[in-house]
Chain A
Amino acid sequence: MSSKLRFSSKRFLLTLMLCACSVILLQNYDLSPNASFTFNLICVASGLAICFVLFIPAIIIKSRTNLDFLTVAAVKTPRLKIPIAVFYSVYFIFTAEFFLLPYTDMFRKKYYYDVTPCLIAALLLITCVYAAIKGVNVITRFGIFLFAFAMLTNILMFGGSLGQMDFSLNTFELTGGFPDYIRNTLYFVTPAFIAVLFACLSGKTKNFRIRQTVFALIFTGVKYALVLFFIWFALGAYAQRQEYQTFLLSRAAHFSSFGGIESFYLALATMSVFMIISLMLCAVTKSVKRESDLKTVIIFVVILFAAHACGTYLNSVKEILTNTTVFVIFTAIAAAVIPSAYIFAGRKSNARKALHNITMS
């Protein structure tokens, strides 16, 4: 659904915040076992501070031009259009896989043991095509419902875990070394992919304020801190060396004899991944074409599915596609290095004139 209407920047950042929060939903215990809860809180703060730094180039571009980075790049350096498109296409496919692979893996291990991950991925991708065709504006409207549902799920998950809190097994002591700090901080930088999404998809948003970004990151941090807190003090040692701790938290949560909160977790994780991949498809089509069309979306979905199949059956591919360090480096280049280059280097008068014209139109 291509529309000339601009939509609220606040709603777009709410959607991105939900995407950032979904990282912790699919947590696969990449955190250092030596680090304590308090130490991890510091890592969360550091990680999200780096996220904000990675957000700055996108914020500058948006504030100066009210356009998205891809449009600015196309106007300033028309010759580099293809390399830029290729780089961002690869990045968005990589990011989509970064979420899709753990999701299907979690699904197979925790819910339907005999299901083929590729079937799950195929069905999910088909539904994402529909959402991607409808456009970013509609996905952000979907984000409002997801936000309400996420609130409900979190209340159930945390409220149901209150009865199991045990502060005797773990303490608030600050333990952990510098390597632990680097490792954990790196993990908490992963939400920075929302900076790239913001840079590429914010062209049609209006009334942007920097504080919206700050609030989105603070809320993400609070969500991470709460999840870590409950994993630490409600699950305790049981969570150590286990996979998908947030899932375990939802499974352990219960109100009297009523459990089954993991079904809410499943719904939230599914909808979050659905939203992330749909946004990725929007972004990837935007990087090669200005408006999303069915043909382009389907081509990228086929590529995504092929990458997922490779990741599922080839362990080495999976390791690369789900590697946090590679992902963070890739994100840093996409969010900060390339946009910064355009901010500092692209100051030719004709490019500025063209940009001025497009901004005015």
Chain B
Amino acid sequence: MNNSLSEILSELKADFRNSADLTIRDFTLKSKNNIKAALITIEGMCDKEQLAQSAINPIMSYDFGALDGEEAADKALSSVLASSDVTVFYTKAELITFITSGFAALLIDGAEKMFAIGVQGYSFRGVAEPESEVVQRGSREGFTEPLRVNMSLIRRRVKNPDLVFEQATVGSGSRTQLMLCYLQSRVSQKLLIKLRKRLKECDLDTVLASGYLSEYLEDKSSSRLFSGVGISERPDTVCGKLTEGRIAIIVDGSPAVIIVPRLFVEEFQGVDDYSNRTYYAAFIRVTKYLSFFLAVYLPGLYVALAQFHPEYFPTTILIKTSESLAQTPLPVTLEVLAITFVYEIMKEAGLRIPKSLGHAVSIVGALVIGESAVNAGIISSSTLMVVATAAICGYVTSPLYPPVTMLRFIYIIIGGIFGLWGIVLATAVMIISMCSKTSLGVPYMSSLAPFSLRTMRDVFVRADWKTLSKRIIRVQRFAETEVDE
């Protein structure tokens, strides 16, 4: 602080455009030199009681004698301030960052240094079970919005000095704080450098959620259909990923923590897999893969078979399907497309409407779109069954829902135009696209392609803990990564 206190305060007021929530408590220290001081906070972001106890009361009651401003500041830091969290800083930019993060800033006239006192006390949502990642036998804790609370949730699980939180800021306008979190001995330094570079290149003005950063973390030449950036709201999941050499990014104000690199096989792994019996975990895994396959292909294959190759249906099914389809006015492709589209509309409506109306929409959906439409002969029952099965299967691997939905539409259209052949060709293109994708230099399809027998123990089946614990998998050790050591 090179300028006088009054100058700094007037500059600050000007910067904040005299905003009503900027609170400046200026006072005079008990001293022979009548040193002026000020405590700056943002209304509603500090715990007033804690502030009074740790800063206002001690500093106003202490006698600084004949000390000048600089000496008084040193004294305040060493003997007066009764807070465990005091940070010294020197610039106005830091001052703004601290007070907007809920700290109280203590400025003493004539002192170069300023103090940020950790008395954050804003209201926030408590730690609760994340609705999108419900587990049967795992922890019920989920991340919440404040950065520090989320850091503590990770630290409580990994009581290891190897765990590093590295602070960074993104968004030139919002100046959102984020923390890179990793295990120093397990992370690849190349990966870390790459990630820091990507975050530095992020030219966003405002970052309000972790999802904003996802696109900046994706590899440039990679296909964007599947995401190479993982998201989790569960501290136990994040801790598990950290042990494999991954990096977590906690964004202030967002309960969704980013995990990079992300691999395709991870979409089928769940926390429960590691709590359940091995055979049951393996069964669930296989079910998930099968569900993914059905969610993507079932409507497309149904259209292709019904339109081009009805002879492939077993006779009884063929007769029933033909009868059902013959009574409907639309061709099978349009019918499947229409029902799938209506289903997506209903899903969106169900997500957005107030909970009290949810039941009403469900009833309307089930009766009008379902039973009544079939009875009226507008849609066939077999088509409805196929679309409904695919829709349910899509939720089994919920992180994959966006690509699965898009692929489902693509395969319906291709199956309707080119039949099975078109679906095969589109599949080839999809596999090529997935195989060429990388997540921060790690092949997205690692374990499968490039194939690695060593890492297959946690892909289709989950090996027992004795086998899993023998050698911990690290992302930089996958074949053909650009971040190997």
Q: Is B428 in contact with chain A by the CB < 8 A criterion?
A: yes
Q: Which of A144, A259, A263 lies in contact with B449, CB distance below 8 A? A: A144
Which residues in chain B, 434-485, are within 8 Å of chain A measured between CB atoms?
A: 435-436, 443, 445, 448-451, 479-480, 482
Q: Are the C-beta atoms of B450 and A145 separated by less than 8 Å?
A: no
Q: Are the C-beta atoms of B309 and A141 separated by less than 8 Å?
A: no
Q: Are the C-beta atoms of A142 and B419 separated by less than 8 Å?
A: no
Measured in the bound complex, the distance between the Cα atoms of B426 and A124 in whole Å is 10
Q: Please, how many residues of chain A have a CB less than 8 angstroms from a CB on the other chain? A: 33
Q: Are the C-beta atoms of B450 and A260 separated by less than 8 Å?
A: no
Q: Is B420 in contact with chain A by the CB < 8 A criterion?
A: yes
> What B residues does A260 contact at CB under 8 A?
309, 311-312
- Which residues of B line the A interface, CB within 8 A? 221, 308-309, 311-312, 314-315, 418-422, 424-425, 427-429, 431-433, 435-436, 443, 445, 448-451, 479-480, 482
Most B CB contacts (10 A, CB to CB) among A111, A130, A134, A138 go to A138
Per-position contact with B for A269-296: 1 when CB-CB < 8 Å, else 0? 0110010000000000000000000000
> What B residues does A5 contact at CB under 8 A?
480, 482
Measured in the bound complex, the distance between the Cα atoms of B418 and A24 in whole Å is 25
Q: Are the C-beta atoms of A142 and B421 separated by less than 8 Å?
A: no
Q: Are the C-beta atoms of A130 and B432 separated by less than 8 Å?
A: yes
> What A residues does B450 contact at CB under 8 A?
7-8, 11, 141, 144
Number of A-B pairs whose CB atoms are under 8 Å?
A: 81
> What A residues does B445 contact at CB under 8 A?
141
> What B residues does A112 contact at CB under 8 A?
308, 419, 421
Query: Which 6 pairs across A and B sit closest by C-beta, in order of nearness?
Result: A141-B449, A141-B435, A260-B312, A138-B436, A267-B424, A134-B436
**Known contacts A141-B449, A141-B450, A263-B312, A131 near B432 by CB under 8 Å:** yes
Q: Are the C-beta atoms of B432 and A271 separated by less than 8 Å?
A: no
Q: Which of B424, B433, B479 lies in contact with A271, CB distance below 8 A? A: B424
> What A residues does B431 contact at CB under 8 A?
142, 145
Q: Is A48 in contact with chain B by the CB < 8 A criterion?
A: no
Q: Are the C-beta atoms of A142 and B425 separated by less than 8 Å?
A: no
Q: Is A266 in contact with chain B by the CB < 8 A criterion?
A: yes
Q: Are the C-beta atoms of A263 and B432 separated by less than 8 Å?
A: no
B interface, by DSSP: helix, strand, loop or mixed?
A: helix
- Minimum C-beta distance from B173 to chain A (A): 35
Q: Are the C-beta atoms of B449 and A145 separated by less than 8 Å?
A: yes
- Minimum C-beta distance from B413 to chain A (A): 14
Q: Are the C-beta atoms of A1 and B424 separated by less than 8 Å?
A: no
Measured in the bound complex, the distance between the Cα atoms of B482 and A224 in whole Å is 39
**Known contacts A7-B480, A130-B429, A141-B449, A257 near B436 by CB under 8 Å:** no
Measured in the bound complex, the distance between the Cα atoms of B356 and A61 in whole Å is 74
Q: Are the C-beta atoms of A124 and B420 separated by less than 8 Å?
A: no
Nearest-neighbor residue (CB-CB) of B448 within chain A: A144
Supply 21 A–B pairs (Cβ within 8 Å), ascending by A: A1-B436, A5-B482, A112-B308, A123-B418, A123-B422, A127-B425, A130-B429, A130-B432, A131-B428, A134-B432, A134-B435, A138-B436, A142-B428, A145-B431, A258-B314, A266-B420, A266-B421, A267-B424, A270-B425, A270-B428, A271-B427
Nearest-neighbor residue (CB-CB) of A268 within chain B: B424
Nearest-neighbor residue (CB-CB) of B423 within chain A: A267
- Minimum C-beta distance from B26 to chain A (A): 62
Nearest-neighbor residue (CB-CB) of A124 within chain B: B425
**Known contacts A141-B445, A263-B312, A270 near B432 by CB under 8 Å:** no
- Minimum C-beta distance from A293 to chain B (A): 13
> What B residues does A144 contact at CB under 8 A?
448-451
- Minimum C-beta distance from B240 to chain A (A): 26
- Minimum C-beta distance from B456 to chain A (A): 12
Nearest-neighbor residue (CB-CB) of B301 within chain A: A263
Q: Are the C-beta atoms of A263 and B480 separated by less than 8 Å?
A: no
- Minimum C-beta distance from A287 to chain B (A): 22
Q: Are the C-beta atoms of A127 and B428 separated by less than 8 Å?
A: yes
> What B residues does A263 contact at CB under 8 A?
309, 312, 420
> What B residues does A111 contact at CB under 8 A?
421
- Minimum C-beta distance from A262 to chain B (A): 9
Measured in the bound complex, the distance between the Cα atoms of B450 and A263 in whole Å is 28
Nearest-neighbor residue (CB-CB) of B419 within chain A: A112
Measured in the bound complex, the distance between the Cα atoms of B424 and A111 in whole Å is 14
Q: Is A107 in contact with chain B by the CB < 8 A criterion?
A: yes
Q: Are the C-beta atoms of B421 and A270 separated by less than 8 Å?
A: yes
Measured in the bound complex, the distance between the Cα atoms of B445 and A263 in whole Å is 26
Per-position contact with B for A135-152: 1 when CB-CB < 8 Å, else 0? 101110110110000000
